[in-house]
Amino acid sequence: MIKIGSRKSKLAMWQTETVASRLNEAGMATRINAMETIGDKVLDTSIAKIGSKGVFTAELEEQLASGVTDIAVHSAKDMQSQLPEGFVLIAFTEREKVNDVLLSHDRTADLADSNRPLVVGTSSVRRRAFLRHYYPHVQIVEMRGNLQTRLRKMEEGVCDALMLAYAGVKRMGYDNLIVKEFDEREFVPPVGQGCIAIEAATSIDADKMTQIRDCLNNKASETCLLAERAFLKKLEGGCSIPAFGHALLEGEEIVLTAGLASLDGTTILRTTDRGPVQNPAVLGEKVGEFILANGGREMLEEIRRAQG
């Protein structure tokens, strides 16, 4: 019996049920234990203000540590770059398309039209920074909550459009509302976007962990995520800083594009580098060090001062 911890939102449950189904097909029985995290409960405060470390994961990690659950299912982009001691990511699933998208009931909604500036809802500091950089005329409103909550707010007139990850939109069946798909080379996604991560306590039974990993882990995803997460760890970053990172495999090499934006979007530090697939973390650290050495340290200090 594999006991699985999950957040209660519809998207989190979709991801968890997908993981459970894969384990069931491999002959492992499962039981899901769903709960709300602080990030789900506190919707009137930005993630940066709550404190980015573990806002969507801390309660699930308590269950892992106590043995109530064996694994927790997360959106990889919600995972802090440095896990607390005693926890490890044991698998990464096959990755969905990584792009950001714009959702609206108005098919004529056009970000580029400065004569009719859109009001866009997003909770992401990275998306805010990119919007301010590429579409400075757009008005941005804070938008927390699950996908259904955000859609309801849009329908109530809080905003004209929502900026979200394609993966969640597709998984929830709202892709018919997509009016724009952002180029991932410009709007580089956050580390881990489109991928599901499986977390366990380091005390998990070794044979059980091997069975779960063999069933769920996608090697290509893991290689890319290890590079991206090493970059973010070098920046000591989480959900509250406008960092971004996207790795691709090209033959026997990993190509990593990553960087950092200022909160107001005026400055975007971005670089692309490559390295052998055998050493994804080395590449991520190298790219992180380059960003820090080329204005990133000062920008991070400014970001943290602004966020209090």
% residues pLDDT > 70 (the chain): 93
CB 159 within 8 A of CB 119: yes
CB 8 within 8 A of CB 35: yes
For residue range 212-222, list pLDDT tens digits in order.
999 999 999 99
| Mean of all residue pLDDT scores within the chain | 92
For residue range 81-126, list pLDDT tens digits in order.
899 999 999 999 999 999 999 999 999 999 999 999 999 999 899 9
Please determine, for residue 249, whether its predicted confidence score (pLDDT) is greater than 70. Answer: yes
Residue 35 confidence (pLDDT): 80
What's domain 1-94+195-217's superfamily in CATH? Periplasmic binding protein-like II (3.40.190.10)
Residue 169 confidence (pLDDT): 96
User: Which of 7, 30, 9 lies closest to 20 in space, CA to CA?
Assistant: 30
Least reliable range by pLDDT among 40-49, 70-79, 299-308: 40-49
CB 63 within 8 A of CB 5: yes
Instruction: Provide the pLDDT confidence category of residue 236 given band limits of 50, 70 and 90.
Output: confident
Residue 200 confidence (pLDDT): 97
Residue 40 confidence (pLDDT): 45
For residue range 10-40, list pLDDT tens digits in order.
999 999 999 999 999 999 999 999 986 554 4
Asked whether the domain spanning 100-181 has the same topology as the one spanning 1-94+195-217, the reply is yes
d(CA 230, CA 283): 8
Identify the H or E element spanning 7. strand 2-7
Residue 172 confidence (pLDDT): 93
End-to-end CA distance of the chain: 45
CB 287 within 8 A of CB 256: yes
Domain boundaries, the chain: 1-94+195-217, 100-181, 218-308
Residue 59 confidence (pLDDT): 83
d(CA 121, CA 165): 13
CATH class of 218-308: alpha beta
CB atoms within 10 A of CB 208: 15
Please determine, for residue 270, whether its predicted confidence score (pLDDT) is greater than 60. Answer: yes
Residue 174 confidence (pLDDT): 96
Residue 36 confidence (pLDDT): 67
Write down the catalytic residue from 40, 44, 70, 78. Answer: 78
3-state secondary structure of 181: strand
For residue range 135-179, list pLDDT tens digits in order.
999 999 999 888 999 999 999 999 999 999 999 999 999 999 999
% residues pLDDT > 90 (the chain): 83
Residue 23 confidence (pLDDT): 98
SS (H, E, C) 187-202: CCCCCCCCCEEEEEEC
Residue 307 confidence (pLDDT): 84
Least reliable range by pLDDT among 52-61, 79-88, 200-209: 52-61
Please determine, for residue 181, whether its predicted confidence score (pLDDT) is greater than 70. Answer: yes
User: Which of 136, 178, 149 lies closest to 161 in space, CA to CA?
Assistant: 178
Query: What's the predicted TM-score (pTM) here?
Result: 0.91
Residue 211 confidence (pLDDT): 97
CB 254 within 8 A of CB 224: yes
Residue 308 confidence (pLDDT): 74
d(CA 213, CA 305): 40
Identify the H or E element spanning 89. strand 87-92
The matching CATH number, chosen from 3.40.190.10, 3.40.50.2300, 3.30.565.10, 3.40.50.10860, for 100-181 is 3.40.190.10
Residue 78 annotated in active site: yes
Residue 80 confidence (pLDDT): 87
